[in-house]
Amino acid sequence: MNENDIERLIREESQRVEIKTTAASILERYRIEEKVKKTSKKPWYRRPSFMVGAPAFGIVAVLSIGLGTYFGLGAGGGGQPSVGSSGGGQVVIPLGDTRIQAASYEVLAGMSFIGSTGSDTQAAAVRRARQVSETQFEQICAAFDSHYGMIATLESYSASGFVYTPIASDDPSMPYCIQIADFKFYYDAPLQDEDETLIQGYTTTLDGQRLQTVRIESEQEYEPGESESEIEVTLISADGTSVTIAQTNESEGSESEDEFSLIQRDARGRELTEISFQLESEHGQTEKTFDIEVSEGRELEWSYTIFDETSTSMKLAFEGEDGEISYRNPILVELDPRVYTYGELEYRP
Amino acid sequence: MSSDEILSALRAMKSGDMDGFEPFYEQTKRMVFFAAKAVLKDNARSEDVMQDVYIRFLEMLDRIEEDRGVVGLLVKMARNLALNILEREQRSVELDENLHGSISATDNLGSDLFERMRKLLDDDEYEIVILHVVDELKHREIAEMMSLPLGTVTWKYNRAIAKLQKGLGDLR
């Protein structure tokens, strides 16, 4: 082979190397970063700590998202036990190749309990709910405690049955990595202002294949007797598709309102799917309403009203258009003194 | 690669038409990716660097002059960002084995030819060959970028080609 042959070989081979990143995903990341710059009320500053509350909530939401091929959304109780006692369930919506899972109200509600009250009872309940062994739970707590000095937040992680493996990194922009099941989550140190937090990161498979870019923005305000919080999680896949999940919560006394939305966009930023649902709770009664729009204006509304703190059964009422909804695989899990219900709501367009 | 297409896309972006980014990216991404890979040697981190380069590029779009060699600028940014990563790693007292493991694993996602080149060539030779053959930089531009005398770059390149001729003979 002469020099030209060698050069030709290298050029040909360079064309075969697959670059997964798309122009759309870069543009999306750029737009998000620009948006954050413009909307930041105060300059971010770095603090090597981790917050209990909305950011932890967001992380867990992301962890749910990253597992398997599911995207997940957790709906917490905003620290209100009355909401947390509701049954919830799982909403599984097949959308082409991507199944979007909005899941696990109860576990995340339990996290809110832990975050706000540190209740041993709730911690135990949540632990049982996800079948995390006592030993594993303690090991994870110890690891997290030594890493961040905040056991309560770790309980939130372990409560969802995750294996937490903090991995030291020399990269100051990516100071920690969490290994959960078959995925690794690299996260930037939270950028925090008094009531605002930004966390950036990405997920990979264990062999390093990058899956998604993750951005979590949250804001919360607390005053005696009332609170407001917002969290937005954006996941950008290597193919440019993205999912933005947002939650707002307003709580005052025994009343609480949560609103969730999930928007799936294609690689060009066009909205494919928008799903939103609301939870209103007062004195232990929770009403949930789902509004779903699946591309091209097809709409579907779901609603069900159930649960009080002592209920051991649930009833579901669905109203749908342009699709069938079924409820399947209900599993009752007893968690003294409450009953939690797991199952899946499936929408077939 | 068409420099006219790149320039046309750049003009579109500078005038606010971000549809120009896609053709611009498609025309330049391999050069940026391989400029990072020439330093970092693995695909995953090179792709990360590539993304960061384009984000920075978009942030400074208003300040980029059309008559400047925009591809050279991107390649230089990629190389500098990749070198920053290497420096940080070298300062590190200890890198977690798991992290190393994940990086090593990604190396195998690259092509066999580049793996073999890595084994046959030293770091400078590997980088010079990539920059010259894939990124189409002249030896003079590489010398400037790497702060090496032109003669050294030419000599290293010729030596690298000789090594590859010998080591890759089975591919003829």
Task: Tell me what pLDDT residue B129 has.
Answer: 92
Provide the residue range defining the domain that includes A112. Answer: 20-348
Number of domains in chain A: 1
pLDDT category at A273 given cuts 50, 70, 90 is: low
DSSP labels, A79-103? T-HHHHTS---EEEEEETTEEEEE-
**Mean pLDDT for the stretch of residues A284-296:** 48
Query: What ipTM was assigned to the predicted interfaces of this complex?
Result: 0.82
**Nearest Cα residue to A242 out of A210, A274, A266, A260:** A266
Is residue B84 less than 8 Å (CB to CB) from chain A? no
Distance CA B85, CA B49 (A): 9
Cβ distance A17 to B99 less than 8 Å, yes or no, reads: no
Domain annotation covers residue A12: no
**Mean pLDDT for the stretch of residues A267-292:** 61
Domain annotation covers residue A5: no
**Nearest Cα residue to B103 out of A182, A68, A184, A23:** A184
DSSP labels, B145-162? HHT--HHHHHHHHHHHHH
pLDDT in tens, A110-127: 222 222 222 333 344 334
* Ramachandran class of A208: left when φ > 0, alpha when ψ lies in -120 to 50, beta otherwise: left
pLDDT category at A142 given cuts 50, 70, 90 is: very low
Distance CA B81, CA A113 (A): 44
Q: What are the DSSP E strand ranges found in chain A? A: 45-46, 70-73, 90-95, 98-102, 166-168, 176-180, 183-187, 191-192, 196-205, 210-223, 226-237, 242-252, 255-265, 271-282, 285-294, 298-306, 324-335, 338-348
Ranges A52-66, B68-82, B116-130: which has the least confidence: A52-66
Query: Is B111-172 assigned to CATH 3.90.850.10?
Result: no
Task: Tell me what pLDDT residue B66 has.
Answer: 73
Domain annotation covers residue A4: no
Domain annotation covers residue A126: yes
Our CA-based measurement puts residue A185 at a distance from the nearest CA of chain B, in whole angstroms, of: 12
Domain boundaries, given as residue ranges, for chain B: 1-109, 111-172
Ranges B80-84, B108-112, B138-142: which has the least confidence: B108-112
- Chain B residue nearest residue A24, CA to CA: B22
What is the signed CA dihedral for A57, A155, A152, A342, rounded to 10 degrees?
Answer: 50
pLDDT in tens, B145-159: 888 888 888 889 999
Domain annotation covers residue A51: yes
Chain A partners of B169 at a C-beta cutoff of 8 Å? 1
Which of B27, B99, B100 is the best mutation test for A, with the most CBs of A within 10 A? B99
Task: Tell me what pLDDT residue A192 has.
Answer: 61
What is the architecture, at CATH level 2, of domain B1-109?
A: Orthogonal Bundle (1.10)
Whose tokens are 């607390």? That residue is A222
Domain annotation covers residue A235: yes
Domain annotation covers residue A8: no
Q: Based on the number of CB atoms within 10 Å of its own CB, is A95 exposed (0-12), middle (13-18) or buried (19 or more)?
A: middle
Under 8 Å between Cβ of A132 and A163: no
pLDDT category at A33 given cuts 50, 70, 90 is: low
Q: At what angle do helices B43-59 and B70-91 cross, to 10 degrees?
A: 130
pLDDT in tens, B38-81: 998 888 888 888 988 998 889 888 878 776 678 888 888 898 88
Listed ranges A75-79, A254-258, A277-281, A294-298; the one with the highest mean pLDDT: A254-258
Mean pLDDT of chain B: 80
Under 8 Å between Cβ of A290 and A302: yes
Whose tokens are 């230089």? That residue is B76
Is residue B1 less than 8 Å (CB to CB) from chain A? no
